Homo-oligomer: A and B are copies of this chain.
Amino acid sequence: MNQSKRYLDIVRDLRDMIRQENIRPGDRIPSERELAETLQVGRSTIREALRSLELLGLIETRRGEGTFLADHRNNMLVEVLSTFILQDNQSQKDVQETRQIHELAAIQTICNNKATSQMAVWEGFRIRLSDEENGFQREDFVRELMVLSGNRLSLKIWVILHQYSGNPYNGTVSTPEKERLLNILAAIGQQQTDKAVNEFKTWSDWLLKERLRDDS
């Protein structure tokens, strides 16, 4: 009777359609008008369903082209949720802490895995650090850690938190920092997990303190 929320049915129908026709990420799904015709509902109802799925990052729409099943690797779910979740108390401390949680977990994962701990990219960082000329971007290093940890969700969350943190790794390393970073890189290469984690934490905490001092 009161089956309110027809757009929810549409969401279901879409899911089934995607399943049945084996539509894969990146593929195009029928146009809004076509779906409205097929499912016998108004176009606005179709759009409500599609917009919902879009906000969830499940589909992607391109004006003039069509609607596509999204590669959920880049979904905005986390972003949307964060903007809502972080509304009340802008507890910067929580954000910083949580960001670091993900970073430490990443470096731990990397150390515990022989393949990732021995990657050439670390040697590359070492060289760039030793090169006096070359400005070493902190963020490149940390982002590499997050990427190589292999956890895409964690990476996505980190990116958001990193932005919220006011890009704490922005800028190039100072001379006293270089030694610290070389230590971390060495620990990674030798799979000394605890040492790498601790050194990183020390560096990260120190950096944060510096930044606070600069602001005031």
Contacts and interface: CB of A to CB of B under 8 A. Distances in A.
A45 to B, nearest CB: 9
Interface string A125-158: 0000000000000000000000000011110110
Interface string A81-96: 1011111111100110
A86 B12 CA distance: 13
A41 interface: no
A56 B160 CA distance: 13
Copies in the complex: 2
Given A51-B7, A84-B58, A153-B85, A91 B63 contact: no
B98 A154 contact: yes
A105 interface: yes
A195 interface: no
Q: Which one of A7, A85, A94 has the greatest number of beta carbons of chain B within 10 Å?
A: A85
A87 B55 contact: no
A15 B63 contact: no
A88 B72 contact: yes
Contacts of A75: 85
A170 interface: no
Given A7-B51, A56-B81, A88-B72, A97 B154 contact: yes
